[in-house]
Amino acid sequence: METIILKIDGISCMGCVRTLTGVLGALPGVASVEVSKEAGAATINFDPAQTGAAAFKAAVEGAGYDLA
């Protein structure tokens, strides 16, 4: 397992936190996700054999957010 911290623009409320936690957590290979509104970031624990930064970027952008 590896851990990555993604800075994400536009996390303004708990709804954003839930949305991002949902889309990132649904990706195959993601073991856990913690999204922080205060930090404007998602901490993702994942299996690098199954997923990675490109998939996370696509999921974040697909949900309507941008990486900071």
Footprint on this chain of Cu ion (rule: CB under 5 A): 12-13, 15-16
Task: Answer yes or no: are the C-beta atoms of 59 and 24 closer than 8 Å.
Answer: yes
In whole angstroms, how far apart are CA 28 and each of 15, 31, 34, 67?
22, 9, 16, 20
Task: Give the 3-state secondary structure of residue 57.
Answer: helix
Q: Which is nearer to Cu ion, 6 or 46 (CB)?
A: 6
CB of 51 to Cu ion, least distance (A): 24
CB of 38 to Cu ion, least distance (A): 13
Q: Which is nearer to Cu ion, 20 or 30 (CB)?
A: 20
